[in-house]
Amino acid sequence: MTSVVQSLPSVHQSLFEAKAVKGLTFEQIAQRVERDEVWVASLFYGQVRCFSSSPESSDAKPTEVEVKKLGKVLGLQEGPLLKHFHTHWFPERGDLTPMPPRDPTLYRLYEIILVYGYGIKSVIHEKFGDGIMSAINFSCNVKKVEKNGADNVQITLTGKWLPYDFHE
**Cβ distance to a second copy smaller for residue 72 or 161:** 161
Q: Contacts with a second copy in 91-110 (CB under 8 A)?
A: 91-110
Choose the catalytic residue: 27, 108, 122, 139: 108
Helices 10-22, 64-74: inter-axial angle, 10-degree rounding = 50
How many other CB atoms are there within 10 angstroms of residue 15's CB atom? 24
Binder among 14, 18, 47, 75 for a second copy (CB under 8 A): 47
Known active-site residue 168:
no
Nearer to a second copy among residue 79 and residue 89 (C-beta) = 89
Cα separations (Å) of 138 from 119, 155, 156, 157, 158?
A: 21, 13, 11, 7, 6
Is 32 a residue of the active site? no
Kindly state the helix (H) or strand (E) to which residue 68 belongs, with its residue range: helix 64-74
Annotated active-site residue in 57, 122, 134, 139 = 134
80 binds a second copy per the rule CB under 8 A: no
Asked if 131 is part of the footprint of a second copy (rule: CB under 8 A), the reply reads yes
Applying CB under 8 A, does 2 fall inside the site for a second copy?
yes
In this structure, are residues 77 and 71 in contact, taking their beta carbons and an 8 Å threshold? yes
Closest distance of CB 77 from a second copy, Å: 20
Site mask, a second copy, residues 149-168, x = CB under 8 A?
-xxxxxxxxxxxxxxxxxxx
* CA distances from residue 78 to 2, 9, 75 in whole angstroms, order as listed: 28, 17, 9
CB 56 to a second copy: min, Å: 11
Task: Reply yes or no on whether 56 is catalytic.
Answer: no
In whole angstroms, give the CA distance from residue 68 to residue 17: 17
> Which residues form the catalytic set?
108, 111, 134
